[in-house]
Structure 1
Amino acid sequence: MATTSYWADNYVEKKTTGKAAIRRIRPGQRIFIGSSCGEPQHLVSELYLASGQYTDIEIVRIMALESTPLSLIAEKTHDQGLNIRSFYLGSGKPSALAKYKRFITPINLSAIPRLFKSRKLPIHVALIQVSPPDDFGWMSLGISVDVTLSAALSADLVIAQVNPQMPRVLGRSFIHVNDVDVIVEFNEPLLTVGEMPELEATNMIASHIKRLVDDGSTIQIGLGATAKAILSVLSDKNDLGIHSQFLMDPIMHLVSKGVITNRKKGYNEGKIVASNAMGTRDFYEYLHDNPSIEFFPSDYV
């Protein structure tokens, strides 16, 4: 595990390249990869390039946009080189998910942090992406706190991609330089989710749900076109609150219109609470150092 000393010295000593960092992985290990749009793409790309050297590697994640096709490697090697365990299907068409359905292990997101911390599912290596450290050595997990924080704090080896494009979000989102074993500085755009299609079916669903949402309600929202349609019809509501695993762009627009105030939540009042965000670059900039938004692990949210 990481040793404790002056964090700035530690940071310099731990810096290396992505290629060198991935070489520290050993056959037979279980590797956690940061979630969804918070995926450390550079580290995953280096893992992909080195995958032919490994056997019996298990990838653990809750959701991936497959910026690097690790699932393809698992298929080609018949899981001998690399296998994947995904805890979350995400929002998508069943036909698109069916191909890799065998990788899914159903479980409540709130149960995963305890699974890691209790070592019932030990994590040997955690590949995470963080913001640059602040003056005290704290780095934010940004748009991917969810189960990533518990994976990092319980892993035997933590490899962090430090990316200045990762927003620094507030709440329980931080990991200290002293708790990371390897630092890889790499600047690259975060994964984003573009405009979702407007469908008649989702608009109809949204119109029905709108009648069930009272002023002052606290809402949890999922991902996808239906969630976007629901948020888009709530613009005439008042004093809504957000306590949700996921955040996306329409939330930002409802805040700017004064629809979301979080004044009547009764818990975490005045704050949007979430554990993961997927959206556009503008949305990520909106999240950066925003005191009205706090990110927490999935077992809290």
Structure 2
Amino acid sequence: MTALRTSSISDAISRLPRGAHVVAAPGMGAPSTLVAEIGRRADDQGWTLSSGLFLDEYPFLDAVVEGRLSYRTWHVMPPVRKAVAAGLVEYLPVRASRLAHLLSRWSPDVALVRVGPPDPRGYCSLGASAGYGRPAVRNARIVIAEVDPSVPRTFGETMLHHSEIDILVESATPVPLYRAAVGDELTRLIAQHVRTLLPRELTLQIGVGGVPESLIRSLGEDPSGIDSMRIVGMATDDMVDLFASGLLRHSDVVPEPAILSPDMMATQRLLEFAHQNPSIGMYSSAVAHDPYSLGRRERFYSVNTALEVDLSGNVNSEVMRGEQLSGPGGSLDYVDAATRSCGGRRIIALPSTTSDGSRSRIVPRLDHVTIPRSMTDVVVTEYGVAELEGRSLAERARLLIEIAHPDQRSLLAETLR
């Protein structure tokens, strides 16, 4: 193994110039030790931190709220929602496929990443997060990496040579882990409706949330009806079971892996399974979210959830009651890919009401649109399937009212009239 020379965390952060724009890797690849230290050392530095989602508790957030650090994000998670609403955190509406282009335009001063130790040739792995790590490194003037021995060596676009890293520090924080959405009878029922739409051979993409994750769980428990598949997008623990059931093949390896993912959202189970496993390929969003290349796959099925769908088929995945709850992420990219795919389909799967039952998620009209009605194909709730493509506005409204909660249907029909 290449000799590892590390700096202290204090020395590393002291290299940040005043007024620096810092980009940090997200999710399970977040450099938690480094961003926490930035929060502690932010006084009078004029630093700006940009990132996607973090899975931990945003250890720098106090510095942001106190006005000592500027923070911008393109994916709003629960810990920062109030700060976004108060204008203390800037929200950037960015599609995942545009991140590499955005980083090229920004040319950030500093990139922060989490990597595994270098191998005998001097290569470190970005492990579970490849979405924009390499583009950030490529475009930054200074690269600081925290080294964590638990980071898996993954295939795809995850290798950084130590010569690309200016400063190495030892990580003092564990890899942030993802707590899978808890499935219940409702999400399982919606997932069963989605299964009726799937062909025997397909490429499947799922988004974050109870319904898509319940779909993967269901396929692992009972693979009947599917002969073979590949996965694109978020990689989860439950996908390990798809290899055991035979739906995913160990023989499908990079550059055409069984799972092509920009980011894992998982626990130690998938981290260990992905270590030196070429059937899981971790790629930047320029590849893993590219609608042009993904759209060349036959039968590309995107399955994403949403906050609301209006009676014409517009989809809102981001804003509820005026509050920014998430971001577009890769949903529009994957819908675009499925639109281009021969035999592809775009499925929006969501419960008919909010969790307390007080509000219908099928609504008359939307103030915020993430996916326009012209790209909406199928909407699924626990009450069935509404196939919208090729339907008039009046037909769409009728079909969507039929899958709304029974207590809301008469009100929706009256509003429509």
Conservation of the 8 A alpha-carbon contact between 2:156 and 2:255: no
Specify the alignment match of 2:196 in structure 1.
211
Conservation of the 8 A alpha-carbon contact between 2:35 and 2:59: no
Specify the alignment match of 2:326 in structure 1.
none
Shift in CA distance, 189/264, structure 1 to aligned 2, threshold 3 Å: closer
**1:8 Cα deviation (Å)?**
4.8
**1:89 Cα deviation (Å)?**
3.3
* 1:238 is aligned to 2:242: no
Opposite residue 239 of structure 1, the aligned amino acid is S
Q: Distance in 2 between matches of 1:297 and 1:282?
A: 22
* 1:19 is aligned to 2:10: yes
**1:45 Cα deviation (Å)?**
1.9
**1:204 Cα deviation (Å)?**
2.8
Work out which of the two has the higher radius of gyration on C-alpha atoms and give 1 or 2.
2
> Which TM-score applies when normalising by structure 1?
0.85
* 1:144 is aligned to 2:133: no
* 1:296 is aligned to 2:280: no
Specify the alignment match of 2:383 in structure 1.
none
Where in structure 2 are there 5+ consecutive unaligned residues?
A: 289-417
Conservation of the 8 A alpha-carbon contact between 1:71 and 1:100: no
The structure whose RCO (Cα within 8 Å, separation 6+) is larger is 1
Q: Distance in 1 between matches of 2:25 and 2:142?
A: 14
- Once the two structures are superposed, residues 209-234 of structure 1 have per-residue CA deviations (whole angstroms, 9 ceiling, x without a partner) of 11111121101111122221111222
Q: Distance in 2 between matches of 1:142 and 1:68?
A: 21
What SS does structure 2 have at the residue aligned with 1:213? coil
**1:146 Cα deviation (Å)?**
0.3
Conservation of the 8 A alpha-carbon contact between 1:192 and 1:279: yes
- Once the two structures are superposed, residues 88-117 of structure 1 have per-residue CA deviations (whole angstroms, 9 ceiling, x without a partner) of 236x7xx98355255321111111102212
Specify the alignment match of 1:171 in structure 2.
156
- Once the two structures are superposed, residues 58-113 of structure 1 have per-residue CA deviations (whole angstroms, 9 ceiling, x without a partner) of 11111112434323322221xxx3111111236x7xx9835525532111111110
Q: Distance in 2 between matches of 1:214 and 1:98?
A: 42
* % same residue: 25
Correspondence list, 1:15-164, <5 A: 15-55=6-46, 57-77=47-67, 81-89=68-76, 97=81, 99-101=83-85, 102=87, 103-117=90-104, 120-164=105-149
**1:26 Cα deviation (Å)?**
2.1
Paired residues, number: 281
Specify the alignment match of 2:240 in structure 1.
252
Q: Distance in 1 between matches of 2:30 and 2:146?
A: 10
Specify the alignment match of 1:4 in structure 2.
none
Conservation of the 8 A alpha-carbon contact between 2:202 and 2:228: yes
**1:271 Cα deviation (Å)?**
3.2
Opposite residue 49 of structure 2, the aligned amino acid is I
Q: Distance in 1 between matches of 2:252 and 2:164?
A: 37
Alignment root-mean-square deviation, CA = 2.5
Conservation of the 8 A alpha-carbon contact between 1:30 and 1:60: yes
Conservation of the 8 A alpha-carbon contact between 1:165 and 1:188: no
Q: Distance in 1 between matches of 2:14 and 2:44?
A: 10
Opposite residue 179 of structure 2, the aligned amino acid is G
Correspondence list, 1:190-205, <5 A: 190-205=175-190
Conservation of the 8 A alpha-carbon contact between 1:216 and 1:264: no
When structure 1 is superposed on structure 2, of 199-208 and 179-188 the one drifting more is 199-208
What SS does structure 2 have at the residue aligned with 1:277? coil
Q: Distance in 2 between matches of 1:97 and 1:260?
A: 37
**1:277 Cα deviation (Å)?**
0.5
Q: Distance in 2 between matches of 1:171 and 1:160?
A: 19
What SS does structure 1 have at the residue aligned with 2:134? helix
Q: Distance in 1 between matches of 2:106 and 2:152?
A: 29
Q: Distance in 1 between matches of 2:248 and 2:82?
A: 36
**1:170 Cα deviation (Å)?**
0.7
Conservation of the 8 A alpha-carbon contact between 2:158 and 2:283: yes
Where in structure 1 are there 5+ consecutive unaligned residues?
A: 1-6
**1:205 Cα deviation (Å)?**
2.2
What SS does structure 2 have at the residue aligned with 1:74? helix
